[in-house]
Amino acid sequence: MGSNLRAAAILALTFAAGALASALVFYRADKRTPAPRPEATIPARVTLPPEHLGALSLFVLAGQSNMSGRASLPNPLPAPVPGVYVFGNDGRWHEGREPVDFAEGQIDDVSADPGAGAGPAVAFAAALRDKRKDQPIGLIPCAKGASSLAEWRRQLGDHSLYGSCLKRARAASTAGTISGVLFFQGETDAMDPALTAADAHPDPSNWAAAFATFVADLRRDLAAPDLPVVFAELGPRPEDPRFPAWERVKEQQRAVTIPGVARIRTDDLPLQDAVHFGREGQEGVGKRFAEAMDGLL
């Protein structure tokens, strides 16, 4: 009896150790240790000026870590972009600068990204303002590092990425109009399924169909059937065996043909690690987002 219990305990410990190792591998694949954050990191809260209240063009930022931002923050931080605002994870309006997806004061923990760095959103907003005659812009961060496309399926409520994103978009829309969606995701779906979270269920061969469903659901729930969407194709293929389906996901992304949806290329932009873009790469992504979005608006 005692030997059986010892054997069962050893087996359980072995399984737990294996599960922990897999979880750590997955964590390192999509999340890097954040660099030391400069002083006064969090964008200051602001009151929208009367001329911008109700006039903002609002853009939802969804996807995983490259949308949330993993590039190191410059020190000192650049000045806020005039006429650009961030509807923070605390449900308040902030000045338009990095880090857009800060987790301090997070209301919906489902999308918290502690230590988020610089992403493409500020470069996107600055470039789009130049193209759209200084139209004031509101950014709505909803991305979550390491999330698979399956985790963006339609589920309502604060416990889901989709439900939290929808709630934030509706709350921010009192200050303007939802004008578009930026989406950057796919790294998790390209991973070996054995290394991903059990509830992620990545399916690289179904990415295009799942993305089409996501777009249709969001357009319907926001009552905007022609809502422009721009998504980023995966970047350069990493020399890492943990991402065996990288090219399959990219093939799926290139196969997307949805009216009012545009795709941007990113595989010619510089990375800072296996899958994350640094500041230069993120600036390039943001400008391409703006070029594509401007063509859809």
Query: In order of start, what are the domains of the chain with their CATH numbers?
Result: 31-296 (3.40.50.1110)
Residue 26 pLDDT > 90: no
Residue 266 pLDDT > 60: yes
Q: Using 50, 70 and 90 to split pLDDT, how confident is the model at 196?
A: confident
Q: What is the pLDDT of residues 201-226, one digit of tens each?
A: 678 999 999 999 999 999 999 999 99
Comparison of pLDDT for 1 and 41, the residue scoring more: 41
Residue 2 pLDDT > 70: no
Q: Is-contact 93 85, C-beta < 8 A?
A: yes
Q: What is the pLDDT of residues 74-117, one digit of tens each?
A: 888 999 999 999 999 999 999 999 999 999 999 999 999 998 99
How confident is the model over 125-136, as a mean pLDDT? 95
Residue 31 pLDDT > 50: no
Report helix, strand and coil shares of the chain as percent, to nearest 5: 40, 15, 45
Q: What is the pLDDT of residues 269-290, one digit of tens each?
A: 999 999 999 999 999 999 999 9
Q: Using 50, 70 and 90 to split pLDDT, how confident is the model at 195?
A: confident
User: What pLDDT, on the 0 to 100 scale, is given for residue 201?
Assistant: 67
User: What pLDDT, on the 0 to 100 scale, is given for residue 5?
Assistant: 39
pLDDT cut 90: percent of the chain above it: 78
Residue 6 pLDDT > 50: no
Residue 39 pLDDT > 50: no
Identify which of 133, 147, 156, 131 has the alpha carbon closest to the alpha carbon of residue 218.
156
Q: Using 50, 70 and 90 to split pLDDT, how confident is the model at 134?
A: confident
Of 59-63, 196-200, 257-261, least confident by mean pLDDT is: 196-200
Q: How many CA atoms lie within 13 A of 257 on its CB side?
A: 1
229-247 residues labelled b (16+ CB within 10 A) or e (exposed): bbbbbbbbebeeebbebbe
How confident is the model over 59-88, as a mean pLDDT? 95
Q: Using 50, 70 and 90 to split pLDDT, how confident is the model at 200?
A: low
How confident is the model over 47-74, as a mean pLDDT? 96
Q: Rounded CA gap, 276 and 69, in Å?
A: 8
Phi, psi of 51 (to 5 degrees): -70, -15
User: What pLDDT, on the 0 to 100 scale, is given for residue 296?
Assistant: 98
Comparison of pLDDT for 25 and 73, the residue scoring more: 73
Using left for φ > 0, alpha for ψ between -120 and 50, and beta otherwise, residue 70 falls in alpha
pLDDT cut 70: percent of the chain above it: 85
Identify which of 219, 235, 239, 217 has the alpha carbon closest to the alpha carbon of residue 227.
219
